[in-house]
Amino acid sequence: QTPELRPPAAPIEAVARFAAPEPQVAALPIGAVVRVPAPELRPPQFDMPLWRLEGSQRDFIRLQAALMHLENDGEGARTDLLQVRRCLAEGGFLSDHVLWRAALSNYFGEGHASGGVSAALAVLDARLFACHGILIEDLLASTLRRWRDEPELLVAPETLAELRREIYGDSPFPVRRDSGGDLPEVSARRRQLIVERETQRMAMREYVQKQEQLTNAVGSAAGSRAKRVWTRWADGIANIVLKLRNSDMAMPTGRGSSRMKQLISDIAIEPEALGVLTCQAVLNQMLVPNYRRKERPEVGDPLSGLQRRAYVQSGSFVEEGDVQVPFVSVVCAVGEAVLLEDAWQRQTAEFGGGSKARGQIPFARLMMGRGQIGSTNEEKLNLIDLLLQVAEVEVKRESLSPKMRESLESAGRRTDGYFVSVPAFAHSVQRQSKTKSLGYLVLRSQAKAMMDLTQEDMLRFVAPKHRPMLVEPRRWKPSAEHPEGGFLMQPAPFIRTTDPSVTCLRWYSPQRVVQVMDSLGRTPWRINRRVLKVMEEVKRLDLAIADVPPNSDPTLRKWEEIEQEAHQNEVGPEGIKKLRIEHHNARKRKQELQSERPTFELKLQVAKDFANAPRLYFPHNVDFRGRTYPVPPHLNHISDDICRGLLVFAESKPLGKDGFFWLKVTLANLLGKNKIPFSERVALVDSQKELILAIARDPLADESVAFWSQADDGPWQALACCFELADAWNSGDPESHLCGQPVHLDGSCNGLQHYAALGRDHAGGTAVNLTPSDRPQDVYTVVLKIVKEKVEKHASAKLRKKPSGEDDLSDDDEEPVEQPEAAAQARKNKSRGTPTAVRKQNAERLIELGVLQRKVVKQTIMTICYGVTTVGARQQVLGQLEDMVGDQVDHGELKVLARYLAGLVLKSIDEVFERAMLIKSWFDTVSAMLNKLQRPTSWVSPIGLACVQPYKEKRFITVLTKQQQVSIADVDVKTVHKCKQRMGFPPNFIHSLDATHMMLVASACEREGVTFAGVHDSFWTHPATAAKLNVIIREAFIELHGRPILDEFREDIRVQLGGLEPPELPAQGELDLETV
């Protein structure tokens, strides 16, 4: 029979229960008549249906667990899919695409039917979604027809992989090559959930990729099989502790025995709980993949001589498959677990038992981390000795290696039975270097094989590398009972810190900051596919331009071979020196490529995976100062030029007259011409119109590459701007051209701008463009001019006479800095006490090399207000000198020159920004006063974020166990790190101000409907709205510094100091904020 299908009269249940004798489908063509049988299909019952996907983060996590169970049900998948195919094929849905789209519309619509067709779609959706990451709304008409003719099409892994590539290309994520036509609203969330599931799967694969036998051959203490093994060990520990407490057993003697006595007498935890805590802490360290855990290398694996000797010389032998963790890590884990349990029991006893006690105990007293292990608590760490004593497993005799059998027999154990008891753990001491040995706790492979880990267990320990989102991020709720925000199911912290207790999120609600983070996360992006194509081609051709690393390392021969060959060829000292410099640079470059190449590959791969996504979103969080960061780490707009060139706004807007102007200005800025008037920048770009059009046609032509790849401040962003300008010119109506390319409005040395505004410093503000001027001021050139004057003065200085009457430095002498003895002596001298002769030589050498350029001083000036130290400035200058003349000058000489030049740069900055340095000195004084009271420096930023510096002192605890002596580096929460607190406060306070400024701008842009993205002190928008953003930035800056920021902070400090009077603020200058 072929009953007529009619739309349902009323909405039906949210989840299709089961097939009805005559299923109904809504929105079918009038008069359509199909025959649909009623197979026994049982759609999976999810708390959150796949066709809706609405709920909390915890709901998504539960759905993920259900999908993983379904994914592991391989046997039922084939039967279900064959039944689904029969149902849909006989109903004509696989032949008629219109009918198929109507059925999908009904499946995702409000009138979700419970008939046979909807049941079939629910089963098909669940299977493809959970097992293969394919969405049924993405199935092509050709795919459905093939499935009609080939029943095994969606069953065989090979054909499924082929179909997935046909729909999504090579991307592991469900991002379609085409727009996909009309898709249900929930489709974007469905894609995002698959992205997060695949991201977790990738993270798990990274952990277990070296496991050959079973993907899940390792486990945690929470695993069901693991529990069956270690509960016996926990009982053994509990029995020993109980006997010791009841004096039914003689107290151990020898090494570590005094600690054991204190353990038994001082701690009030029940013996059973001690046993469980010990086993769980140890096994979680041993079985959960982490950077400390390592397995015994398999036979045939290459080992260095030192590594090979380590395994031979260890106190207890280590076999293939054994797992090792540094003994100190296990000691810390057990000690922390016991202490936290002890603290919890003491707190519950104080506040009363029961479930209500948890809500009554102050949050700060419950958040006890590793830093609260007191110096009197080392005795609680000796439980590992008991674990080693009782932990055994029974294995078949034939599974024992000869070495293990020999070890057991030498210890007096029987090995003649069918089952043999084997110690589950061993202690091994391995040599790490000629002077250092390290103790390991070893889990025998026989014990490890008895424990496994399900994927659900693994998810609790795996930290996935987040990818961009395909839907708007969830709104942040950082102060809720269950904090959530950002991703659908992957947790992410709202404040980036290693110490959650200092965030104070349980004590106040930072709603204004939360609103800004939500706003930033809602800015839509997409991949610039033209730039991506060029980048891939640059990599394929191995051009190694614009920060794309080469595909191979530079040739690096041994220095002994080079030196021997040079002597054979009678190469002179200068030639030897040149060869040494080349060898040093090649070795350094090879080391750099070890990180640059995989980092670039990660960025490129993420761009390729999401190249077809119409919209991408980056959820944002903040650090303790309020600075914002995108959560996805590999590809985001806050990263380097490669990432920025690959990203454009998803929404394009007409350029308009202002937008065309700002797009040209942006390109000129990227080319390094940002210190000339705007009109000259526009004229510069217009003069290169023909070249820019040629670049758009062939970006890899020699002339094209020479132009865009040499852009000072961003080659790939410059290429993206060239593409947009060429499109605008070619359109015939540039002002109507739709453009999504971001333009940047950057602060001029933003930290110094905030210092100038705080002190109302007119001279300093003029140097960093806070006052009107015909031409942009360049603070780097101002400082460089002073540095040059000092260098020239030193170079022309007259030399003093030695007592013997000879000059310190003769014109006929060789340059002392080229001699090892003179260079070493120069490095020992302090900057203020540098002899005139050496200072003169350094100055003359700098002039000779021609390195006194703007870029040499720029980085140090930029970071001076952020707390750069003398050592840091020296490294910054050294890096620039190496880039400029590293192939000409020996590294040792460069270090001497960098030390000299960095000192001059710092002195010159002090002269230009005298008032800013006075404020910085005031900050240092205030922080030192708080240090005396052992209080971390803290303040509330102008936007309302509580900022607490998390710097704590480390202390070392020496623990004596029966196995070895252990030194534990730990953090004492009661002791602040005085040096870090003092040095970190000035830059952190300024960072909180520029973060506040950015948030004020972001809030105003949201109110005005202006697309906004921020990179600390660089603000991005569409070219068409750049002029409006320009006004918003200035208004927000005046609003921020219109408040008496320093006065308010001084009043807060007076309260924190408990009656002590903070020093008076430095006198204010004459800068008028209204002129900014």
Q: What is the CB-side half-sphere exposure of residue 6 using CA atoms within 13 A?
A: 5
Contact 218, 460 (CB under 8 A): no
Structure token pair of residue 46? 């999810």
- Residue 280 to residue 449: CA distance in whole angstroms: 17
d(CA 573, CA 784): 35
Query: Residue 482 and residue 906: Cα distance in Å, rounded?
Result: 48
**Which residues neighbour 215 within 8 Å (Cβ) at sequence distance 6 or greater?**
208
Length of the chain, in residues: 1076
Q: Using H for helix, E for strand and C for coil, what is the string for 180-225?
A: CCCCCCCHHHHHHHHHHHHHHHHHHHHHHCCCCCCCCCCCCCCCHH
Q: At residue 381, what is the residue type?
A: L
CB atoms within 10 A of CB 11: 11
Beta bridge mates, 146:
none
Among 339, 441, 391, residue whose Cα is nearest residue 235: 391
Gap between the Cα atoms of 70 and 125, Å rounded: 12
CA distance 628 to 752: 20
Round to whole Å and give the CA distance between 824 and 366. Answer: 54
Give the whole-angstrom CA distance, residue 631 versus residue 635: 10
The catalytic position among 80, 385, 761, 1017 is: 1017
- Answer yes or no: 761 catalytic: no
Convert 517-542 to b/e letters by CB count within 10 Å (16 or more is b).
bbbbbebbbbbbebbbebbeebbeee
- Which of helix, strand or coil describes residue 502? helix
Distance (Å, whole) CA 138 – CA 194: 13
Q: Are the C-beta atoms of 927 and 620 separated by less than 8 Å?
A: no
Say if residues 1055 and 938 touch (Cβ distance below 8 Å).
no
The CA angle 333-338-339, to the nearest 5 degrees, is 100
* Rounded Cα distance, 1047 and 760, in Å: 14
Do the beta carbons of residue 715 and residue 728 sit within 8 Å? no
User: Pairing state of beta strands 294-295 and 323-326?
Assistant: antiparallel
The number of C-alpha atoms within 13 Å of 429 and in the hemisphere containing its C-beta is 7
Name the phi and psi angles at 740, rounded to 5.
Answer: -115, 5
Task: Please give the Cα distance from 1025 to 743 (Å, whole number).
Answer: 9
Q: Is 227 a catalytic residue?
A: no
Ramachandran class of 815: left when φ > 0, alpha when ψ lies in -120 to 50, beta otherwise: beta
Measured over the CA atoms of residue 460, residue 464, residue 470 and residue 475, the dihedral's sign is: positive
Please indicate whether residue 932 is annotated as part of the active site: no
Q: Indicate which residue of 553, 623, 746, 807 is catalytic.
A: 746
Handedness of CA 1044, 1047, 1049, 1052 (dihedral sign): negative
Give the separation between CA 829 and CA 818, rounded to whole angstroms.
Answer: 16
Instruction: Report in angstroms the alpha-carbon separations of 129 from 60, 164, 191, 473, 1071.
Output: 14, 12, 9, 21, 62
Among 724, 714, 719, smallest CA distance to 673 is for 714
> For the chain, how far is it from start to end, CA to CA, in angstroms?
83
**Single-letter code of the amino acid located at 1022:** H
The number of beta carbons lying within 10 Å of the beta carbon of residue 477 is 16
Q: Out of 608, 858, 895, 920, which one is annotated catalytic? A: 858
* Longest alpha-carbon distance in the chain: 123
Catalytic site positions: 746, 858, 1017
